[in-house]
Structures are given as C-alpha cells and as structure tokens.
C-alpha cells in the first residue's frame, strides 16, 4: 500500500495523521497535481491527491473514503465513534465542514495564481465567506468542549486541525486565533501530538 500525496494538501495530511494514529506503515509517493510530471491522473481521474494505492493495483480516493477504509481496517486508535450513530454522524459533519473550509481556502489560493487581470474579486469574496462562516461555525460547535465531538479525540479533531493548519500555511495573516480562542486551545493540543507535528506543511 502507498499513499500518493503532496506535503501541502490538508486532505492528504488528514490521511497521514490517521495512518500515524493507527500506526499503519504506508510509504508516501509524492505527487504535486499542479506540476508537470504529476501522474496522479493515472490513479484518480479527478487528478487530485490523496490517493491510496493498494497492493493489488486498485486505488481509493478521496480522503474521506480512504479514512473510512483505514478505520475499518484497524482497530488501533478508533477515530470514528462506534457506539452512537448520532455521534458518528456528528463526527462526519465536523469533517465535512473542516474539509469544506479547505475547499474554499484552496479555491482562493488557485484563483490567486491566475494572472492578476483574470482574477475575480467576487469569486474570492464568495470563497472567503465560506471560510469565515466555517470558522465561526467551528467556534460555536466547539464551545467549551475538550474535543470536537464532545466525547473523545476523533476524526473531527483531525479534520479541524488540518483545516486550521492549512489556514496558517496559506493565510498566515488571518488571525483566527484572536477571533476564536477555543479553536486556538484545541489547535495547541493537537499540535503537540506526534501525528500532527510530523505532518506540518513545509515552509512555502
Ligand atoms: N475532496 C478531496 C479533495 C482533494 C483535493 O482537492 N486535493 C487537492 C490538493 S490539496 C488537489 O489535488 N487538487 C488538484 C486539482 O484540483 O486539480 C479529498 O478529500 O481528497
């Protein structure tokens, strides 16, 4: 099994953290989908990372499918609640929200790479709205909780930590810590975990 991933993708980071938490050894095959020489379309018709390449040559994508596969493959460090359907669906919703923040933030990054005269301020503002509302929702949902789903460290925390880390990486000027101190406390706790520390995106 190999993980096709870039070191900057928050979705790939989510999978790498799950692999580390579950102590699954899985080599990385580095691929930057935006660069010439990327072979990711051979493995995922959507041309996106991460992709899990299985030993029989089959592939799994996207990150949510890979995470579910890994969770079902190993009982080590359960990351999805097993006993409560309500808690399970809430955890998945956290993941959807955190991934959605990354989708919007990533769209802004991609738009910013287009020639200045082709960039749409309206599109950027539309995506920024998703990031801003997403952060406000994470803040409200977390409240005074110790962990995102209110019970235990889970995929909800991993996805949230990856989204916050991605904002730090791409938008260091965005002072989400000042606006949302409970998210800052959560992020600090997560950053201390080896799985997070080992997967910080490299300096741009
Ligand atoms: N929903 C997908 C999103 C994956 C994604 O958008 N990955 C980005 C890297 S951060 C990518 O490969 N983009 C290349 C492209 O869109 O062509 C997942 O969770 O895996």
Q: Which long-range contacts (CB under 8 A, 24 or more apart) does 34-41 make?
A: 40/4
Classify residue 27 by burial, with Cβ atoms within 10 Å: 0-12, 13-18, 19+: exposed
The range of the structural domain enclosing residue 117 comes to: 85-197
Q: Verify that 111 and 192 share a domain, yes or no.
A: yes
Q: What is the CATH number of the domain that holds 159?
A: 1.20.1050.10
Q: Tell me how crowded residue 54 is: count the other CB atoms within 10 A of its CB.
A: 11
Q: Verify that 68 and 91 share a domain, yes or no.
A: no
Domain count along the chain: 2
- What's the pLDDT tens digit per position in 63-112? 999 999 999 999 999 999 999 999 999 999 999 999 999 999 999 999 99
Q: Verify that 174 and 107 share a domain, yes or no.
A: yes
Quote the percentage of the chain above a pLDDT of 70: 100
**Residue 155 scores a pLDDT above 90:** yes
Q: Which of 28, 51, 73 is the last residue of a domain?
A: 73
Quote the percentage of the chain above a pLDDT of 90: 99
Structure tokens at 50: 């991460």
**Residue 204 scores a pLDDT above 80:** no
Q: What are phi and psi of 141, to 5 degrees?
A: -70, -35
Q: Verify that 94 and 62 share a domain, yes or no.
A: no
What is the C-alpha separation between 31 and 152, in angstroms, rounded? 33
Task: Compute the C-alpha angle 74/41/163, nearest 5°.
Answer: 55
**5, 7, 8, 11: residue to mutate for ligand 1 pocket, most atoms within 8 A of CB:** 11
**Residue 171 scores a pLDDT above 70:** yes
Nearest atom in ligand 1 to 47's CA: 17
What is residue 101's predicted lDDT score, i.e. its pLDDT? 98
Nearest atom in ligand 1 to 48's CA: 12
62 lines ligand 1 (CB under 6 A): yes
State the chain's mean pLDDT as an integer.
Answer: 97
What's the rounded mean pLDDT across residues 168-173?
97
Residue 13: C-alpha distances to residues 67, 83, 114, 163 (Å): 11, 27, 25, 10
Q: Verify that 108 and 34 share a domain, yes or no.
A: no
What is residue 203's predicted lDDT score, i.e. its pLDDT? 83
Closest by CA position to 44, among listed 59, 66, 32, 65: 59
């Amino acid at each position: 099994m190999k993980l096709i991933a870039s070191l900057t993708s928050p979705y790939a980071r989510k999978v790498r953290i799950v692999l580390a938490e579950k102590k699954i050894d899985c080599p990385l095959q580095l691929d930057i989908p935006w660069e010439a020489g990327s072979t990711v379309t051979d493995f995922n018709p959507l041309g996106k990372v991460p992709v899990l390449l299985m030993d029989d040559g089959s592939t799994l994508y996207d990150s949510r499918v890979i995470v579910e596969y890994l969770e079902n493959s190993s009982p080590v460090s359960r990351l999805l609640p097993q006993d409560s359907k309500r808690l399970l669906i809430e955890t998945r919703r956290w993941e959807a929200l955190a991934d959605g923040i990354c989708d919007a933030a990533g769209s802004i990054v991609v738009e910013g790479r287009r020639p200045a005269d082709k960039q749409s301020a309206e599109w950027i503002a539309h995506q920024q709205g998703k990031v801003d509302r997403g952060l406000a929702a994470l803040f409200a949902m977390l409240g005074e909780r110790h962990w995102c789903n209110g019970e235990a460290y889970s995929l909800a925390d991993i996805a949230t930590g990856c989204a916050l880390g991605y904002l730090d990486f791409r938008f260091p000027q965005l002072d989400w810590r000042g606006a949302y101190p409970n998210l800052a406390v959560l992020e600090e706790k997560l950053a201390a975990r080896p799985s997070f520390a080992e997967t910080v995106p490299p300096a741009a």
